[in-house]
Amino acid sequence: MKIKRLLFVFALMALMSTMSLAQQFEITPFAGYRTSGSFDLAENVLDYSNVKINDGFTYGLSLGYRVNEVFTIEAMWSRTSTSLLAEVQGADTADLFDLYVDQFHLNFLFFVGQRMAAVQPYVLLGLGATYFNPKPSEANGETRFSGSMGLGFVAMFSEMAGIRLQAKWAPTYINTTNALFLDWWGNPWVVPVNNYMSQWEFTGGIVFRF
pLDDT, position 85: 82
Determine the 3-state secondary structure of 21 from DSSP: helix
Instruction: Read off the pLDDT band of 39 (50, 70, 90).
Output: confident
Instruction: Read off the pLDDT band of 142 (50, 70, 90).
Output: confident
Instruction: Read off the pLDDT band of 175 (50, 70, 90).
Output: confident
Residue 87 predicted with pLDDT over 80:
no
- The answer to whether the CB of 62 falls within 8 A of the CB of 23 is no
The sign of the dihedral angle between the CA atoms of 100, 101, 106, 112 is: negative
Residue 21 predicted with pLDDT over 70:
no
pLDDT, position 81: 92
Residue 119 predicted with pLDDT over 60:
yes
- The answer to whether the CB of 126 falls within 8 A of the CB of 76 is yes
pLDDT, position 120: 92
Instruction: Read off the pLDDT band of 42 (50, 70, 90).
Output: low
Least confident of 47-51, 142-146, 172-176: 47-51
Just give the CATH number of 24-209.
Answer: 2.40.160.20
Instruction: Read off the pLDDT band of 12 (50, 70, 90).
Output: very low
Question: What Rg, from alpha-carbon coordinates, does the chain have?
Answer: 23
Round to whole Å and give the CA distance between 52 and 39: 7
- Kindly report the average pLDDT of the chain as a whole number: 81
Predicted structure pTM score: 0.77
Round to whole Å and give the CA distance between 195 and 145: 12
pLDDT, position 24: 85
Instruction: Read off the pLDDT band of 38 (50, 70, 90).
Output: confident
